[in-house]
Structure 1
Amino acid sequence: MKQATFRRTLLAASVSALFAISTPIFAASNSTGGVKGHVTAADNTSLAGATIVIVNKENGATKTVTANENGNFRVPSLAIGEYKITISKPGYETQVVEAATVTIGNEVTIDTTMTSGDIERISVTGSRVAMVDTASPEIALSISASEIARLPISQDMTSVALLAPGTTKGDGAFGNRASFGGSSVAENSYIVNGVNITGFRNGLAIADIPFSAYEEFQVKTGGYSAQFGRSTGGVINAVTKSGGNEWKFEINGRWEPDALREDRPDVRYAIGNGTSIKPFDMYEDNSHDEVEKFEGELAISGPLIKDKLFIYGLIQPQSYKDRNASANGLTYTDRKIDDPLWLGRIDWQISEDHKLMVWGFSDAKDQENSTKAWVKGTASEKFSVLETGGTTWSVKYDGRFTDWLSMDALYAEVEFDSTQQSPEDASCPYIADYRSGAGVALGCWQTAQPTASSDKRKQYNMNFYVNYFDDHQIKLGVDYEDDSANEMKVYSGGVGYNYYFNDKDYKLDNDYVLDQAMEYVRVTNYTNGGTFSSASLAWFIEDTWSILPNLTARIGIRNESFENKNASDQTFIKIDNQWAPRLGLTWDVFDNGESKVFANFGRYHIPVATNTNIRLAGTELYTRDWYALDGVNADDTPILGAALGPQKVYGNGVAASPDEIVNSDIKPMYQDEYILGYQQNLDEDWAAGIKFTHRDLKSVIDDISIKAGLEAMGYDGSSDPFILSNPGKDATVYFDTDGDGTLEQIHISAEDLGFPEAVRKYSSVELTLNRRWNDDWMLNASYTWAHSYGNAEGYVKSDNGQDDAGLTTDWDYPYLMDGAYGNLPNDRRHTIKVFGAYQLTDNVTVGTNITAQSGRPKNALSYSTLPDDYPEEYQYGDTFYPFGVKCSRGCMGTEAWTFTVDANVTYNIDYWDDVNANVKLDVFNLFNAQTVTKTNEYLDEGGLTSPTYGLAEEFVAPRYVRVSFNVAF
C-alpha cells in the first residue's frame, strides 16, 4: 500500500493566494511567463538529473525538462495560468507543487530540496510568488481579471493603466487616455497577446477588445526591457482568455442607466462682450445630458480535442446612446452605437514542445450622430455616420527545441477605420456664420469635412530565448511593422464658406487690412488624400546576468529604424540605427530574498506618426480667398463681392520634394530615463517600496517655419516654407536661393532659426504599499510626487486640444514658444491612489478605488496679439502675451484638487451546484464631486478680454451607476 505524507511549508501557506499586484518582470516574453528553479540534495549540494514535469491544470499542456549538472532548470514561454509541477529522481522523494501561478512576464521560482528515501513517498508543497523579485530590476503593475472583478473600475485599458503610480488622466480633448511619467497621451504602446493594437496615425487610437475577454494586464510605467519599444510614455501589456479541458459558458450583462446618472453643472458667463454675450448667459448647458449604456456577453470555451485543441469565443452585443448639448445650449447631438464586438481564439498544442495560437477580434462600429435644435425650425438637423475600428487577426507559434533554446514567432494584421460621412456631402457646401459671434451652421451640409480614412498594420515578430549558461538568460529578437494609411478629406460640397464681421483696420490672414468695418466671406478649398506608408524595423538582444547570488544585471540594447513615405511613395524621412541601451541592476541587500535595491537606465525612441506623412508629405490642396460679402442667396451660399487681398496658399496639391520639407540632419525623437528604487517584503503578503524616476526628452520632431532663418541669411523671405526638424537645432535643407527654379542645399543655424531648445523633463518619487489578496482582503496604496516641466508636451498639444501628432502649432514660429517654458499640461504634483477589496461574508465582497490629485497648471493665452515692439510679426496661434504682457506657462497657478471615491458591492449566488453567479453594483464618484479639472485659458482675443476665460470646460465625471450580473457554468 502506498503511503503519502503532506508537508506544509512556508510556500504552501499561500497556495490559494493570488499573485502580488506588483509582479516584477524577469526573462519572459511579452505574452507568457515561465518557471525556473534549483534542485538540491539534503546536504545543500546541487542535484543534477532530476526530472521536472510541468502541467497546465486548465488544458493539460505538459513540459518536461531535466535539471542540468548544476541542478538548475528553466522553462520559458508558458501560457499564463495555474500549473502542477512534479520533481522526481530515482532514490529521492518526489516533490509535487500543486499550484504554481504563472503570470504575464513573470518567472516563478521553484527551489526544491530533495531527500533520499522511499521513492513512493510524495511530499506536497505549494508555490509562493514573491512580493519582491530580487532578480528583477523592474517593477510593473500586474493585475488579473479576477482582481479587476473585485474593483469598481471602468471596463477599458486606460482605467486599468490609471491604477498604476505615475499615470494621470490626460486632457479630455483626446478622449479617455492616460499620460505616463509626464509624456503626452499619444506616446504609449498597447499590446495584446504580443500584437501592437496602438493606432499609428497619431498614437491615440486603441483597438477596442471586449473587456471580459482579458485574462491579465501588465502596466509598465518605465524601466522596461529592450524587447519593448516605440514608446516614450508607457506600455500596457495584456493577454486574453483561452480554452481549457472543460467546457465553460458565461453570460454577463452590464447596464449603466441614465436615470441613475447625475449631470455636470451648467456653466454661465461671468462677464459679457458688450454685444452678443451678457453676464449669466449660458456658456455650457449640461442639464439635458443623457447617457445610457448596456453590454451583454456570451462566452464559450472548451476542448475540441482534449489536451490538444481548445477554443474561446465571446460576442458582446451592446447599445450605447448619449445626448450632449452644444456650448450655447441651442442645439444638441444624439450619438448611437449598437454594433456588437466579438473575439475568438484557438490554441493548438501540437506537441509537448510546440504550440500554435490563432486569434482575432472585431471592433468595427458605426456611430450615428444627429444634431438638432431644441426649438424646431431654428436650425437644420445634421446627421453623419462615423465608422471606426476594424478586424484584427494574428497567428503565433511557440517552440522549444532543447532544454536551453526556445523561440516564438508572430504575424498580425490590425485595422483602424475613422470614416465620417453624410448623404449630403457631395452637394451641400460647408457654411458657417460668425458675424454675430458664435458660429451658426447654414445650408444643408451635414459633415463639415467628410473624411474617408482607413489604416492597416502588418506586424512580424520573432524572438529567441537562450538559457545555455546558468548565470545568463539571453533574449534576442527582431520585429517589423508595415503600416499603411489611406486618407481622403474634403469640405462638404467641395468648398467651405465662413461669414465674418470685423472693424476697420482688422488684418486678415493674407495680410490684407480692412479699410472699413464690413462683412466678408472666407472661401476655403481643401482636398487631401492618398495612400501613405511607414515601416519600422527593430532588433534587440538582452542578457540577464546573475553576477553574484544576490546581484543581477540586465544588459540590453535595442536598435530601431523607421521610414515614412509620401503620397508619391517616395521616402521623405528615414532614420536608421537608433541605438537604445537598456541597463538594469538589482541587489538583494540582505541576501535573504526579502528586499532589493534596483536601478535602471534606458533610452526610448518613438517613430514619426503617420499623421505627419498625410499632412506634411501629402498632396494637400489648401487655399483661402477673402471677398466682400454682398449678400446671401436663398440656399445660404454667398454673393461674392470684391476680392480682399491675394489668395493664400497653404498647400498646392503636389507632394513636396522630400529635400524641401525635411532637415537632412534630423535626429530621432527619444527620451532618456533614470530609475533608482528600493522594495521590501514586510511579511508574506505585504510589500512596500520607494522609487525615484527622472525622464529627459532629448529630442523632438515637429514642423517649423524657416522664414526667419532664410531672412537672417539674406535670402528672400517672402515665402514661408515649413520643414520637419528638431526644434532648437541646426537645419540642412534644400531651397531655391536665387529664384532660378533649382534647389540648392543650405545650412541654417539654430540661432538664425530662432527656436529655443525643446525641453521636457519629469521627476517623481513614488511610495507604495501593497497587500495581496489572501483569504479575505487586498490593498494597494501609493503616493506620487511628480513634476513635469519644459516647453514641449510631446506628440499632442493639450493647450488647444490639438491631436496633430508631429505637426502641432507649438513650433511653427519662434514667438509661439516665447513663454512656453513652465509646468506642462500633464504635471500633477501630488497623487494619492488607494484601491482594494474586502470579503464581508462568504457571499458579499466590497471594493473601492480612491484617487486624490492636485490640479493641472493654468495658463493665460492670447489669440492674435504680441507686444507692439515685438521683433516678430504675429501669424496665428496661441501666444503667452495676453494684452502684450508676458505670462509664461502655468503663470495662473493650478486647478483645484480632485477627490473621487468609487465603490462597489458584489453578492455571490451559491444556490446552484457547479454554477458561479453574482450580481454587482458599482457606483462611480460616490459623493458626486463636481470639481473643475480644466478651464478656458484664452484671456485675450484680439486685444479684448475673452468672456470665456476661466470658465469650466471639463469636470470630474458625475456620479453614475453600473448594475451587472455574471453567470458561469
Structure 2
Amino acid sequence: MNRALRRSALTVALGLCFASGVNAQSNTAGAVFGQATAGDTIVVENPSTGVKRQIQVGNDGLYRASSLPTGSYRVTLQRADGTTSVRENVTVNVGTGTSVNFASATAGDGSATNLDAIQVTAALVNPIDVSSVESTTILTAEQIAKIPVPRDVTSVALLAPGTVKGDDAFGNLASFGGASVAENAYFVNGFNITNSFKGLNFATIPFQAIGEQQIKTGGYGAEFGRALGGVVNLITKRGTNEFHAGGNIFYTANSLRSTERDIYSPDGQLISDNSKDRDPTETVASVWASGALVKDKLFGYAMLQYGRESGSRSYGDNISVLNNSQTAKNPNWLVKMDWNINDNNMLEFTGFSDKKESERDVYSNPQGVSERQNYLGTVHDETGGNNYVMKYTGFLTDSFTLSALYGTGEYKRNNYAVNAAGERLEYSGNVSPANATGIIGASGCPLVTDGRPDVAAGLTPAITSSCAFLGQNLGLTDARDKREQFRIDAEWQLGSHLLRFGYDTDNFKSRDGEASEGGVAWRYVLRRGEDMVRRRVFQTGADVEVDSRAFYVEDNWNITENFIAYVGLRWDTFENKNGEGETYVEQDNQFGPRLGFSWDVNGDSSLKIFGNAGRYALPIAANVAVRGSSPSLYSQQYLHYDGVDPVTGVPINPSATGDARDDLAYLNNEFGLGKDPRTIASKNLEPQYQDEYILGFQKAITDNFTGGVRAIYRKLQRSIDDQCDYRVLEEWANDNGYAIDSYNPAFAYCHIYNPGSDLDIEIDMDADGTLERVRIPADKLGPDGKRTYKAVEFFAEGQISDKFFLQGSYTWSQNKGNAEGGVKSDIGQDDTGVTQDFDYPELMVGAEGYLPNDRRHTLKLFGNYEFTDQWSVGANFLYQSGRPINCFGVYADDPVGYGAGYFSCDTGEVDPDTGSNGTTIVKRGSAGRTDDIYNLDLNVAYRPSFAEGKLAFKMDIFNVFNRQKALAVDEFGEDSTGNPLQGVTYMTPTVYQAPRAVRFMVQYDW
C-alpha cells in the first residue's frame, strides 16, 4: 500500500509539472491554496530547507500560502481539537498555484464539510491549476534531462505550443505568437536579462543550473510587460539541508556529425561546396555543489561550467574567398545563496557570468572550390559579463507579503582584428567627417564585393580583396550594455480578493558603434548598363540609454468557490536618450489593462474553462538612437574606374561620372554630425501596443493526464518605425515659402512615428537656427502598421503510466500583416525598430500578406519511457509547414534608391499599373513556401544499478534521419540594378536543417 502511494505521488507530481494551462503568480515562486474549516491552521513546510508558513483559514473556509520558493512541501492541517491531516510531497512550481483541499466544500457559514481526517503520504494535487489565467508551459530540470533537446533556453522554449524558430540571421531565437524574435522578455530569478539594445539576445546561465524554465506564450498578467511576444522565466537550482555535488561532461564530436548539404542554384549551378566544412566539436564540462551552511537557515548552490567549440568552414562558392577556423571558449559560473532569516523573512542572492571569447582565423580561398590558402588574419570577439541580483521577501502578516529586488548586469560586445602582418585593426567609435576612416590599423585593405549579374551566375570571377578578411563591419573594442533594475512587489489577501501590486524601474545603457572594414566599402555593380563601382563610408558610435518604469495592480477575485475573475492594470513609461544624454523620445503612462477568468466547472480541478484579454506595450530599442539620434556617417557615390588593384581589390583611378544620380550623397542625411533631439520623433508619437484574446479549456483525461484547446487572436494596434521620405518635406517647404537646406544636422530625413498617423515634427528647413513646425498628413506617408495572429492550439501532457510521460501540441496558425515587427527576416535586417519598412511609401506597395513567421501547421511531441530502473529512452518530434517566400526586386525606376528592396520582381510581364515591361508587384508571401520539415531526435540513458543511481550515461541523436530541407531561400528575384536573378540565385537555399549530430553525456551525482 505504501509503495503504491509513493508511486502515485510521484506520478501525480510529474503530471503537475507538465501543466500548460493558465497561471498568474509570482515570477520567482509559487503558492499553495485550498479549502478547510474556518479558524483551523495550515502549516506549509519544505523539509529540505526549513521554509515554513503558518496560515489561519479564513471565515470563507479558504487559505493561501504565497511566494513559496519552488520545491516539495508538506502541508499540515491543525484542527482546534488537536487532530491533524497531512499532505506530503506537494510540488510547488514557479508561477503556479497548487490546490490542496482538506474539505470538499464549505457551508454558507464558512464551516467545512466532508473533512478528510486520515493522514496520508501522497502528493494530492491536480495537474490543472484553476487559480489563475496565463498560458504557460513549465519544464523542470529533471524533465528536460530526459528528452533529447539542445542545451539552450531557446530550444526548450520551442517545445511550448505557439512558438516557432526565428530566422537564422538573428541567431538562435524563438518567435512567440506571430511576434518578431525581438519582442520577447527573459528573466532569471525575477531579474530581467533581456538585452534591450536590439532585443536579439539575453544573458545566459550555465544550463545545468536551471531548475525550472517557465515559458509564457500569452495571457501573462500585469506583473509582466515590455514584450509583445512571449516571456521566458528561469529559476535556478538552490541548496537544501542535504549536501549534493556532482559533475558532467557533454561531448558532441565533429566526426559524428553528418556533412552539410552543398548548395546549388535552381539551374544546377554549384553555389557552395560544403564537403570540407567541419561543424564545431563541442565540449561542455560542469561541476557543482550545494548544501546547508547553517541547517534550515543558510544554503548555497555553486556551479562552474567550461565550454569549448572548434570548427572550420570553407566557403567554396563563386562569391566568397574566405575560409574560417573558429574556436570559442566560455568559462561560466553561477552562485545562488538563500538565507531564511526567520519564518517571516528571506534573503536571496544570485550571481552569474556568461562571458564568451572567440577567435576566428581567416584564410583566403579560391573561388568555386574548397581549398585553404594564405592566412589573412584573426577576428577577436568577447561577449557577456557578470550579473548580480539580491532579493528580499517578507511575510509581514498571514495575508500580506512584500518583496524587493535589485540587480545589475553587464554584457560586453568587444570586437577587434589582427591581420597577417600583426597589425591590430580596431574602430575608435569616434564618427569622423566624410573622408576620414576612423579605423586604426586599416592598412588600406577595405571590404570589396562584386554584385554584377555575371558574377552571381558564376560566369565571371568576382573582384575581391585578397587582404581584407573581416567580411563584416568592425565593431568597438569597448562596446557594452549595462542594466540596473529595481522592483518592489506586494501581495495582499483580502477575503476573496488576492491583490497584487508593484513598481519597477529598468535603466539600460549601451555603448555601440561600427565602421566598414578599412573605412570604405567598395561594390562593383552593373548600373544603367555600365560597369561602375559604388563607394560607401559608414560610421556610427554613441552611448545611448533607455529608461523604463512601470506600475501595476491586479486582483484575483474568487467570486464563487469555483469561479475566479482576474483584473489587472499596468502603466508603462519609456524614455529614450541619445549619445549626448538628451531625451529624444518620452512616452508616459501607456495603459495596459488585463482581464481574465478561470472556471473550475466541477469544483475538483478536473475541468477548467478560461479566457483572458490583454494589452501589451513595447519600448523603442536602444539601438535606434545610435544612428537615428546621434552622430553617424553614411555616404555613397557611384564612380567610373580604369582598373582594379590585384591585392586590395580597390578601383584604380575612380572618377565621378558627371551624372547627378551618381554624385556623393549622404544617405538619410547622415553626414557625421550631431542631431538635434527635438527633430527626431513625431510630437504625437504614442507607444506601440498589441491586444490579445484567448479562450480555452483544459480537462483531466485520466488522474495524471490532461488535454485542452485554446484559441488565440493577437492584433498589433499601433506600431512604431521610422520614415525617411524627404520628398514630403521638400513639398511642405515649397508650399510654405522656405528655401530648403538639407545639409544641416537639424534636417533629419528619417523620423520616428506611428505608421498610419500624421507626422508632426520640428525641423530647421532653411538652416537659420530656428525650428519650423511641420505637419505631414498620414495619407502622404504610407499605410499604418498591420500584424495579426490567429491560432488554435490543442495540447496534452502528463503521465501515461508511472514509467511513461508524454507532452504534445498541434497548432494551426495564421500570421498576416505588412510588417513583421522589430526586425525584417525577409532580408535578415536586424536594425530593431527602424528597418526599411515604412521608410518610403513605395517600399510598402504589395507589403501586406503572410509574414515570415507564418507556419500554418506545427506538431510537437516529446516524452520519455523507462524500460527498467536502469534504461530509458526519450524522443522529440517536430513537424512544421514551410514559411512564405517573397520575390524582391526593383520597383519602377527605383524612385527612392533602395535597389532590390521592393515587393517587385521581373516576371516577364507588363505591370498594368506602371506600364513597365517585365516588372510587377509580387504580393508579400505569394511566391510560394519553403518545404515542410520534420525532425526526430532520440536518446537513450543508462543508470547502472551498482552506482545506486548516482552514475548516468546518455547518448542523444539529433535529426536521426538526417533530413536537410531548406529553412530559408534567397528571396531576391532581381539584383540592385533590376537584372533578373530567376534561375541564377533566386530561390537558392540559404539555410538547411542542421545535419545529424550525436552528443554523449557522463554524469555523476553524490
TM-score with structure 2 length normalisation? 0.88
Which amino acid letter does the alignment assign opposite residue 340 of structure 1? P
Q: 1:286 to 1:787 in 2, by over 3 A?
A: farther
What is the CA distance between 1:109 and its match in structure 2? Answer: 1.9
C-alpha deviation, 1:373, in angstroms: 2.8
Residue-by-residue CA offset, 1:806-840 (whole Å, 9 max, x unaligned): 11011211111101110000000011111111111
Q: Does 2:820 correspond to 1:793?
A: yes
Q: Residue 702 of structure 2 aligns with which residue?
A: 683
Q: What letter corresponds to residue 466 of structure 1 in structure 2?
A: W
Q: Residues 664 and 485 from structure 1, CA distance in 2 versus in 1: closer, same or farther, beyond 3 angstroms? A: same
- In structure 2, what residue type is equivalent to 1:881? S
Residue 526 in structure 1 maps to residue 527 in structure 2: no
Which residue of 454, 467, 471 maps to 1:443? Answer: 467
Distance in 1 between the 2:6 and 2:327 partners?
57
SS of 2:178's partner is: coil
* SS class of match (2:783): coil
Distance 1:904 1:751 in 2: 58
Confirm or deny: 8 A CA contact 2:447 2:517 kept in the other structure. no
**CA-CA distance at 1:163 after TM superposition:** 0.6
Show the counterpart of 1:454.
480
CA deviation map 1:684-741 (0-9, x unaligned):
1121111110000111111102324335544578857110111221110112345644
Larger mean Cα displacement after TM superposition, 80-89 or 959-968: 80-89
Asked if 1:659 is matched to 2:671, the reply is: no
Tell me the CA shift for residue 349 of structure 1.
0.9
Whether 1:159 and 2:175 are equivalent positions in the alignment is no
Instruction: After TM superposition, give the deviation of residue 77 of structure 1 in Å.
Output: 0.9
For residues 203-256 of structure 1, the C-alpha deviation after alignment (integer angstroms, 9 at most, x for no partner) is 111212111100001111101100000100000111000011111111111001
User: Aligned in 2, Cα 1:131/1:148: closer, same or farther, shift over 3 Å?
Assistant: same
Counterparts in 2 of 1:470-549, with a 5 A limit? 470-493=495-518, 495-498=519-522, 500=524, 502=526, 505=528, 517-520=530-533, 522-549=534-561
Q: Identify the match of residue 823 of structure 1 among 840, 843, 850.
A: 850
Deviations 1:182-213 (A, max 9, x none): 11011011111001111111111121211110
Q: Which moved more, 1:879-888 or 1:396-405?
A: 879-888
Secondary structure of the equivalent of 1:231?
Answer: coil
Q: Would the aligned equivalents of 2:262 and 2:270 in 1 still touch at CA under 8 Å?
A: no
Q: CA deviation at 1:10?
A: 13
Q: CA deviation at 1:53?
A: 2.2
Distance across 1 between alignment mates of 2:145 and 2:200? 26
1:113, CA displacement in angstroms? 4.3
Paired residues of 1:382 and 1:447 also in contact (CA < 8 A): no
Does the alignment pair 1:594 with 2:606?
yes
CA contact (8 A) 1:816 1:877 kept: no
Match of 1:857 in 2: 884
In 1, the alpha carbon distance for the partners of 2:295 and 2:673 equals 60
Contact 2:971 2:986 in 1 (8 A): yes
Moved more, 934-943 or 165-174: 934-943
Aligned to 1:60: 50
Distance in structure 2 (CA, Å) of the matches to 1:739 and 1:660: 13
The whole-number CA distance in structure 2 between the counterparts of 1:752 and 1:24 is 46
State the distance in 2 between where 1:657 and 1:634 align.
44
Q: 1: distance between equivalents of 2:724 and 2:564?
A: 49
Residue in structure 2 matched with residue 878 of structure 1 by the alignment:
901
Q: CA deviation at 1:656?
A: 1.3
Could you tell me whether the CA contact under 8 Å between 1:180 and 1:233 is conserved in 2?
A: yes
SS of 1:338's equivalent in the other structure is strand
Secondary structure of 1:441's match? coil
Q: What does residue 911 of structure 2 align with?
A: none
1:422: Cα distance to partner?
A: 1.1
CA contact (8 A) 2:252 2:281 kept: yes
Residues 365 and 232 of structure 1, relative CA distance in 2, 3 Å threshold: same
> Residue deviations 1:129-176, cap 9 Å, x none?
322223323331111110111100010111111111110011111111
C-alpha separation in 1, matches of 2:361 and 2:397: 61
- What residue identity is the alignment partner of 1:476? F
Change (3 A) 1:145 1:567: same
Q: 1:301 pairs with 286, 290, 297, which one?
A: 290
Tell me: CA distance 1:54–1:700, structure 2 relative to 1, closer, same or farther (3 Å): same
Task: Quote the offset at 1:124 in angstroms.
Answer: 2.4
Matched, 1:74 2:109: no
| TM-superposed deviation, 1:463 | 0.1
Does residue 1:108 correspond to 2:98, yes or no? yes
Q: 1:594 to 1:320 in 2, by over 3 A?
A: same
User: Does 1:917 find its partner at 2:951?
Assistant: yes
1:275 equivalent in structure 2: none
Report the TM-score when normalising by structure 1.
0.92
- TM superposition shift of 1:37: 2.6
Contact 1:27–1:475 at 8 Å: present in 2 too? no
Q: CA deviation at 1:519?
A: 4.8
Letter in 2 for 1:322: G
| AA of the residue aligned to 2:600 | D
Mapped partners of 1:175, 1:409: distance in 2: 34
Q: CA deviation digits over 1:632-667, x for unaligned, max 9?
A: 568635544433453212312233112222111011
Identity of aligned residues (%): 34
Aligned to 1:646: 663
Separation in structure 2 between the aligned mates of residue 53 and residue 625 of structure 1, nearest angstrom = 76
**Shift in CA distance, 372/481, structure 1 to aligned 2, threshold 3 Å:** same
Cα RMSD after superposing both structures: 2.6
Return the match for 1:432 from 438, 448, 456: 448
Q: 1:103-135, CA deviations, whole angstroms, 9 ceiling, x for partnerless residues? A: 00112222114999xx9x972243333222233
User: What's the CA shift for 1:499?
Assistant: 5.0
Query: Out of 769, 776, 795, which is 1:768 matched to?
Result: 795
Shift, 1:286, TM fit: 5.0
Q: In the alignment, which residue of structure 2 is the partner of 1:227?
A: 223
Q: Deviations over 1:481-517 (max 9, x none)?
A: 0011012323344x214152536x35xxxxxxxxxx4
Query: For 1:126 and 1:58, how far apart are their aligned partners in 2?
Result: 17
* 3-state SS of 2:699 partner: strand
Q: Which residue of 1 aligns with 2:892?
A: 867
Moved more, 209-218 or 284-293: 284-293
CA distance in 1 between counterparts of 2:341 and 2:287 reads: 28
Which of 922, 933, 937 is residue 887 of structure 1 equivalent to?
A: 922
Q: Does the CA-based 8 Å contact 2:13-2:125 persist in structure 1?
A: no
Q: Please give the secondary structure, in 1, of the residue aligned with 2:690.
A: strand
CA contact (8 A) 1:32 1:79 kept: yes
Instruction: Assess if the C-alpha contact under 8 Å between 1:20 and 1:129 holds in 2.
Output: no
Q: 1:463 aligns with which of 485, 489, 502?
A: 489
Matched position secondary structure for 1:321: strand
Alignment of 1:813 onto 2:840: yes
What letter corresponds to residue 419 of structure 1 in structure 2?
N
Matches within 5 A, 1:2-41: 17-24=14-21, 26=23, 28-40=25-37
> Are 2:298 and 1:335 aligned?
no
Distance 1:873 1:71 in 2: 70
Return the offset for 1:14: 5.2
Deviation for aligned residue 1:289? 3.2
| 1:948 is the counterpart of 2:985 | yes
Counterpart of 1:198 in structure 2 is 194
Change (3 A) 1:826 1:448: closer
After superposing the two structures, state which structure 1 stretch, 368-377 or 99-108, moved more. 368-377
The 8 Å contact of residues 23 and 135 in structure 2, kept in 1 or not, is answered as no
**Corresponding residue number in structure 2 for 1:906:** 941
**Letter matched to residue 872 of structure 2:** T
How many residue pairs get aligned? The number is 929
Asked if the contact 1:565–1:572 (Cα under 8 Å) also holds between the matched residues in 2, the reply is yes
Gaps of 5+ in 2: 105-110, 419-423, 426-439, 456-461, 743-747, 907-918
1:286–1:711 distance in 2 versus 1, CA, 3 Å: farther
Q: Distance in 1 between matches of 2:532 and 2:978?
A: 20
Say yes or no: does 1:390 pair with 2:385: yes
Residues 499 and 851 from structure 1, CA distance in 2 versus in 1: closer, same or farther, beyond 3 angstroms?
closer
**CA shift at 1:446, angstroms?**
4.5
- Paired with 1:57 and 1:405, the residues of 2 have a C-alpha distance of 24
Quote the offset at 1:445 in angstroms. 5.8
Residue 695, structure 1, aligned to residue 714, structure 2? yes
Residues of 1 paired with 2:4 and 2:166: CA distance?
Answer: 52
Give structure 1 stretches of 5+ with no counterpart.
41-46, 272-278, 507-516
**Against the structure 1 CA distance between its residues 447 and 413, is the aligned structure 2 distance closer, same or farther, given a 3 Å change threshold?**
farther
Conservation of the 8 A alpha-carbon contact between 2:36 and 2:103: yes
**Match of 2:48, SS?**
coil
Question: Contact (CA 8 Å) 2:899, 2:978: kept in 1 or not?
Answer: no
1:158-307 residue pairs with structure 2 within 5 A?
158-271=154-267, 280-307=269-296
